[in-house]
Every structure is written in structure tokens, then in C-alpha cells.
Chain A
């Protein structure tokens, strides 16, 4: 039983990382109906900025987190401005191909600078405590706490601010929103900024949990976060978070109780089964609260 709770804690931790990334996919899809396949690589850049901050500049945890979030925010906004905006009214497939291209560019650019995997030194003291037999580390608590905090902040921005109102309107009927006086380009840029910033934070959390990083970590983690967003109903914020925790729980629990080689097989079978019964994901239809 203690083993189960230990694994549940791990699932919440991993789910938080997936959730932060999944939010970026779902928010961009919400405003542009476009899947930004470079987003997993934004996350990877966040992990590398964490490496730069921690290993090269010897910064503390909070400055490293801000460095990664800020850097990836700029990356996301610049990508939207340079690569995606000119294609806004082009066929959807053009934007998708472009985002794949941006992703490959980021992987190879990072690879050029870092031909070998990098080790990220610990940013937090390896302290912890024991709660009814379950060992809880400071690091796990911070990952979970900061993720919850960021998600709550996002919730407030989307649901309680004027800009969030505009985001939700754009997700429903983008072409008509200028008639409300809303500068749509700015709101879309803000959406990219928020989604990318969360991806940067996820990069730090990931690099702290799995401290050996290479330029390809964004691919598989990105796919899993993307799948989380699809499970929840892409375009839906609550769905993306829920999907991330479901996916992480299934992954951790299969690895914990079954031969770990089955992990991805079982995870993806579950996903396929779910999509057969709910093709639009958990929140895809019943509720149209996109973005």
C-alpha cells in the first residue's frame, strides 16, 4: 500500500510536467486550430536553458526557473511572429509542416551546440521527509506546488481577465473578433507567450527529475503531452490538465506493477480505446470551453 502511495506521488509529479506542456498545445490549438508540433522542442530548449543556468552560470533554482520560462516565452513569441503568422490564412497543412520544421531546426541547433548529452546539477538540496512511510522530497513538492501555482495563474488569466476573455472569443469565432475592437494579433502572441512559458517551466522540472538531457527529449515527452491534450479534448484547458494526470498515472502504475517494457504499449492502447469511445476526448463535446 505504501508502495502504491509512493507511485501515486510520482504520478502526480510526472503528470504536472505533462500538464504544463499539454497546456501549450491546447491553448495554441484553441486560438488558431493549429497544432504547434515545435512545442515539444520549446520544452527541450527550456531544459537546456536550465542546464545553462545551473551548470554554466551557477544560478539558484528560482533564477534558473525564470531564465527558462523567459527564454522559452521569447522563443514562442518569435516563432509565432516569424514562422506562423505569415501562414495564418494559408491551408492548415502548411502551418503544421512549418511547425515540424521549426522543431527539427531547434533540435539540430541545440545539437550543434551540445553534441553530447548534458548533466544538469541538482538545483535543490536533496532533503525530504517521510509521511506515513512515503518518502517525499523537497524537489517533488516544489515541482507539484509550482505547477499547481502556474496552472492556477493561467486559470485566472483565461477566466478573469480581459485578455483571457478575448482568447476565449478567438477560440470560438476568430474572424469576427476584430469587430469587437480586439487586436487579435496581440492576443494570439500572448497565447503563445503563456503556453511557451509553461513549457519552459516544464523543461526545468523535467531536467531536475531526469538530469541527463539531450536535444531529442522534446520528441517523446512532447508526444505524451500532446496525447494528454487530445485525451482531454484538444483546445480545452481543464481537459489537458486532466488528460496529463491520467496519462502519467497509467504510465507510472503500469511500470510499477507490470513489466516496465509494457508501459508505452498499455498507455497507448488505453488512449486508442478512449478515443474510440470519445473521439473528441473527455471534454471535447459536452462542454465547449475552448482555450
Chain B
């Protein structure tokens, strides 16, 4: 079977700093793959290079197509949506406008999609015409996910969706991601919360200082002594 996303020898550099060095991995359709790693390991850089926000060396293939010449905004049309680290809600736009912007590449049946996202996040419905900047952190995270869903992605990239949320909200975000997974969506998730992430994932990769250190099924990694001590705090 061919992977939905295939990354080969990816490198990302910021000036002289090599943040990601020759990283390879793949994500198959229907999978939930988790990228683990300490602060500064290069997780966000990988997601940004996949969505095209920053340039990267090596090859990124989506459904077999080489994305090298495809700019970020066209990758969205191909089916890649990226929920960036820190949410990046448009604070001057209303909740509704944030969602509509997420649907930029779509031409039809927006009303149905808006209803679907609002049913998923009833809180957003209450805040529908309020400006994004006035939402709480948790509400902004919901909006960031909802906005990404509006493009009807086939691959959803999530960068630390639980960052800065209360334990209760973290749980509801993860149970929502589990629902997405159940419904057949393909997810590539970066998380600090390794314990939660591994319960969700089919497979996981561990990144250290820009290089791929470990990979395996979620169960394998849960039992790996290195992962247990470094990421599961045991």
C-alpha cells in the first residue's frame, strides 16, 4: 500500500541552524501518527515543511505527488490542513469569519460544513459573531481545529493541540481526535503530552535534536524503556 504522506530525508534549516536533519517517515491513510520529542527537537519545523509554510530539503509526497513545487495555499486544496502551534486565530475576525476563511478552497455546501463544525463545538456557536480575539484559550483551540476541518482535509496536521489547556479540556480534545480517527480521518499529531498521545496513536516517531531516534507502533513505544523514562516520566 502506498502511504498518503511520505517524507524522505527532510532537512529544515534556519540560517546556520539545522533544525531537522534527514528525517524520513510516512503516514498511511486512516492512521493516527504521533511525533514525540523534547522542546526544540524540530517537531513544528517538520509540520511547517509538510504544509509548505517554510521550505525544506528532501522530498515530501502526498498521494504520490511530489510537493516540492506546490506552494502552501495549493497544498490546502490538495487536502492538507495544518492547525499551527499557538492556534493563530485571526483576532480581528469573528468566529464565523475564521471558519469561512478555513473553507477558502471549497466551492460548495459550506452551510452544511458550518453546521457540522458547530455541532462538534457548541461553544463556538454561542460565540459565533464574537471576534476571535475575545475567545478563551480553549475556545481558540476549538476554533483552530474547526477552521482546519472546514477545508475537508484528507490529512490533518495538529501541532500541540493540548498546549495550555486545563486537564479536562485536554481530555475532551483528545476524545474528539479519537472520534476523528474512528471516522477514518488521517492525523499527524505533535504532542508534549506523550501518555495521551500514545493512547490515541496507531504509530509514533520519536525525534531528538532534529533526528529520528525511534519509531514503532504506539504499543511498542509505550513499553520502550527510553520512551518511558524520557516522555512518560517514569
Contacts of A162 in B (CB 8 A): 100, 104
Interface set, chain B 50-96, CB cutoff 8 A to A: 51-53, 71-74, 76-77, 81-82, 84, 88, 90-93
Instruction: Judge whether A180 and B93 touch: CB under 8 Å.
Output: no
Instruction: Judge whether B90 and A183 touch: CB under 8 Å.
Output: no
18 A-B pairs with CB atoms under 8 Å apart are A162-B100, A165-B97, A165-B100, A165-B101, A172-B90, A173-B88, A175-B53, A178-B52, A179-B81, A179-B82, A179-B84, A179-B88, A181-B74, A181-B104, A181-B105, A182-B104, A183-B71, A183-B73
A9 at the interface (CB under 8 A from B): no
Contacts of B30 in A (CB 8 A): none
Contacts of A180 in B (CB 8 A): 73, 76, 101-102, 104, 147, 151
Instruction: Judge whether B82 and A169 touch: CB under 8 Å.
Output: no
Instruction: Judge whether B76 and A181 touch: CB under 8 Å.
Output: yes
Query: What's the tally of chain B residues with a CB closer than 8 Å to chain A?
Result: 26
Instruction: Judge whether A289 and B92 touch: CB under 8 Å.
Output: yes
Contacts of B73 in A (CB 8 A): 178, 180-184
A4 nearest CB across to chain B (Å): 39
B133 at the interface (CB under 8 A from A): yes
Instruction: Judge whether B101 and A172 touch: CB under 8 Å.
Output: no
C-alpha spacing A178/B55, complex, angstroms: 13
A238 at the interface (CB under 8 A from B): no
Instruction: Judge whether A288 and B133 touch: CB under 8 Å.
Output: yes
B29 nearest CB across to chain A (Å): 21
A283 nearest CB across to chain B (Å): 12
Instruction: Judge whether B76 and A168 touch: CB under 8 Å.
Output: no
In chain A, what residue has the closest Cβ to B148? Answer: A179
Instruction: Judge whether B93 and A165 touch: CB under 8 Å.
Output: yes
In chain A, what residue has the closest Cβ to B132? Answer: A172
B35 nearest CB across to chain A (Å): 18
Number of CB contacts from chain A to chain B under 8 A: 65
C-alpha spacing A181/B72, complex, angstroms: 7
The 9 closest A-B pairs by CB, nearest first: A181-B76, A178-B72, A181-B105, A181-B104, A176-B88, A178-B73, A172-B90, A172-B92, A180-B101
Contacts of A288 in B (CB 8 A): 91-92, 133
In chain A, what residue has the closest Cβ to B131? Answer: A288
Known interface pairs A162-B104, A165-B100; A179-B90 also in contact (CB < 8 Å):
no
Contact with B along A257-291 (1 / 0, CB 8 A): 00000000000000000000000000000001110
Known interface pairs A168-B90, A173-B90, A288-B133; A178-B104 also in contact (CB < 8 Å):
no
Chain A interface category by residue count: 20 to 34
From A175, A179, A184, A290, residue with most partner B Cβ within 10 Å:
A179
Which of these, B51, B53, B93, contacts A172 with CB under 8 Å?
B93
C-alpha spacing A275/B174, complex, angstroms: 49
A16 at the interface (CB under 8 A from B): no
A residues with a Cβ closer than 8 A to B are: 162, 165-166, 168-169, 171-173, 175-176, 178-184, 288-290
A181 nearest CB across to chain B (Å): 3
In chain A, what residue has the closest Cβ to B157? Answer: A179
Contacts of B93 in A (CB 8 A): 165, 168-169, 172
Contacts of B90 in A (CB 8 A): 168-169, 172-173
Contacts of A178 in B (CB 8 A): 52-53, 71-73, 76
Known interface pairs A165-B100, A178-B73, A182-B101; A171-B88 also in contact (CB < 8 Å):
no
In chain B, what residue has the closest Cβ to A287? Answer: B92
Instruction: Judge whether B151 and A181 touch: CB under 8 Å.
Output: yes
Which of these, B77, B92, B147, B151, contacts A168 with CB under 8 Å?
B92
C-alpha spacing A175/B86, complex, angstroms: 13
Contacts of B104 in A (CB 8 A): 162, 166, 180-182
C-alpha spacing A199/B170, complex, angstroms: 51
Known interface pairs A166-B101, A178-B52, A288-B133; A172-B91 also in contact (CB < 8 Å):
yes
C-alpha spacing A173/B87, complex, angstroms: 11
Known interface pairs A181-B76, A181-B77, A183-B73; A290-B84 also in contact (CB < 8 Å):
no
In chain A, what residue has the closest Cβ to B102? Answer: A180
B4 nearest CB across to chain A (Å): 19
In chain B, what residue has the closest Cβ to A290? Answer: B92
Contacts of B105 in A (CB 8 A): 181
Contacts of B97 in A (CB 8 A): 165, 168
B53 nearest CB across to chain A (Å): 7
C-alpha spacing A166/B105, complex, angstroms: 12
C-alpha spacing A288/B93, complex, angstroms: 10
C-alpha spacing A284/B92, complex, angstroms: 13
Contacts of A184 in B (CB 8 A): 73
Interface set, chain B 23-69, CB cutoff 8 A to A: 51-53
C-alpha spacing A290/B93, complex, angstroms: 10
